[in-house]
Copies of this chain bind each other. A is one copy, B any other.
């Protein structure tokens, strides 16, 4: 058996990670990718382990070696999608830009991500509602992570104290609802058209409707 050309061989000390770990991680990703699709297409309740292992082309035992069961698999799907989207959006936000610009960038990136991966988005926004209390808890954690980021907008408000305490929660809930609707009704393709709407909805309470509308139009 021919060995690799020397410059492609792993450098000494860069020893290969334990193959078992690698395989499991690889397989895990592979099953998650299939599962996301299956969950998105069939819905969480209608999905069976059969569907998952068939789609992932793995044996039952392999599935249960990695996941505790359907629920666990779904939770990991959610975490995977949430993390992926989060990173995608984070890296699109210019860290030193003023807050309104950051919001715009984040919204645009989010819409692009959803349009690019509507199935994953469906898991994160639609099916997560049916994935049981734990999935819902994960979903809430995601909301909670966004609240303080949005709250920074209060600095721009002429009267921050007049803003309702739960404004950010409500805003996130409202935006999520709009996105969900579009995903459920299969209008994922047109979802990017929501961009100016969302900018106005998110910025409006802080900057005033006028300013928000101007920024939305500019974007």
Contacts and interface: CB of A to CB of B under 8 A. Distances in A.
Contact of A178 (B173, B194, B196): B173
Given A163-B200, A184-B136, A201-B167, A209 B177 contact: no
Bin the interface of chain A by size.
Answer: 35 or more
- Copies of this subunit: 4
Contacts of A159: 209-210, 213
A64 to B, nearest CB: 13
Where chain A touches its partner, the secondary structure class is helix
A162 B213 contact: yes
Given A129-B129, A159-B210, A205-B204, A166 B140 contact: no
Given A170-B177, A173-B177, A205-B209, 17 more contacts: A43-B132, A45-B45, A136-B184, A162-B209, A162-B210, A163-B209, A164-B204, A164-B216, A167-B200, A169-B181, A170-B201, A172-B174, A172-B177, A173-B173, A174-B174, A174-B177, A176-B177
Interface of A: 43, 45, 129-130, 132-133, 136, 140, 157, 159, 162-167, 169-178, 181, 184, 194, 196-198, 200-201, 204-205, 209-210, 212-213, 216
